[in-house]
Amino acid sequence: MKVIAVGGEPGTGKTTLMKKFMESADDWVNVKPVKLVDAMYSKSKNLYVLGKYEEGEVFAGTDRLSMSVQPSAVEFIESCDSNVVFEGDRLFNGSFLEFLSDNSDLSIIYLQTSDQVRQSRYEERGSNQSEKFLRGRETKYNNLKSNFILRSHWETFTNENEQQQTQVLSRMDEILAS
């Protein structure tokens, strides 16, 4: 099983990227494979996208799942025979990523943008995330980037425009096809 984990500080375009990624299939259905784990499933791709993606939601993906989702997500991965993709803070943490590195063919896609682009995106979506929260996310990702176990799974992409987004989407397709 292949797992792609998409992470990055708030405003780097994780949810927008995932919504664009999901446009590549038209047979997505909402599923709840185990307690607390909501997902979209595409039979044609044999692929789960973890999280909630509802029309008009600014914050989607795993950020819309329960704070206590991780044990259920582990249970799901242990029983899953399909590929899995997810984005968002709820599951993008050291213990879950290390579990995935031991129990799947893990690829980590880390998105980054300039401070200016992130600030512009915060304003566009009406974000009310505090400076303290945003600094905490920055620290979290810096710690993950230095995690020795995860280094070999990690790829960093700048995601500031459509062309760069297309490069990331191509890489995701390439990973799932290999």
> Each residue of 104-161: pLDDT tens digit?
999 999 999 998 998 888 788 777 778 887 787 888 998 999 999 999 999 999 999 9
- Provide mean pLDDT across the span 8-21: 92
CATH number of the domain within which 70 lies: 3.40.50.300
What is the total count of domains within the chain?
Answer: 1
Position 111 scores a pLDDT of 97
pLDDT over 80 at 28, yes or no:
yes
Position 116 scores a pLDDT of 93
Q: Which residues contact 38 (CB under 8 A, 6 or more apart)?
A: 30, 31, 32, 50, 51, 52, 64, 65
Report the residue count for the chain: 178
Beta-sheet strands, E only, within 17-72:
28-34, 37-42, 47-50
* 3-class DSSP assignment, residue 175: helix
Instruction: Give the residue numbers spanning the domain of 115.
Output: 2-177
Closest CA to 86 of 102, 66, 107, 67: 107
Position 58 scores a pLDDT of 64
Position 126 scores a pLDDT of 76
Position 27 scores a pLDDT of 96
pTM of the model: 0.93
CA distance 81 to 3: 11
Position 38 scores a pLDDT of 94
Structure-token match 């896609």, residue found: 109
58-109 pLDDT, tens digit per residue, is: 668 888 889 999 999 999 999 999 999 999 889 999 999 999 999 999 999 9
